[in-house]
Amino acid sequence: MTASADRCDWSPIPFGFNESGLSADAQQRLSDLAQCMKTAPGRVTLAGHADERGTEEYNLQLSNRRAASVKRYLTDLGVPASQLGTVGYGETRPVNSASSEDAWSENRRVEFQR
């Protein structure tokens, strides 16, 4: 990745409980990121995650929908689809293993893997 890619905001995109739609804040962040990505091309994997509530199968599907939602938004803004991959991890890779609302909200996300 080039130096300009290092200036992109690669922090995870959060999601609400049982949601795969993008909040207004997430849309704004992705708009900024799309501009940055167009000036710093390179392959990025969008990794979807879910909290521990729900069945493993459901959470896997939800995490895939979250990653697909981010990809669709970025491609609508002109980021080449060939630059973006998606993967869903469901509940298998929590960033916070506690069983609390704060932990669950941290775990509902899409991360950018470069």
Q: How many domains does the chain have?
A: 1
- pTM for this one? 0.94
Which domain covers residue 82, as residue numbers? 42-114
46, part of any domain: yes
Q: Which of 108, 105, 91 is CA-nearest to residue 20?
A: 108
* Rounded CA separation 28/33 (Å): 9
Question: What share of the chain in percent tops pLDDT 70?
Answer: 95
Residue 98 three-state SS: coil
35-90 tens-digit pLDDT:
999 988 789 999 999 999 999 999 999 999 999 999 999 999 999 999 999 999 99
Residue 69 sits in a domain whose CATH number is 3.30.1330.60
99, part of any domain: yes
88, part of any domain: yes
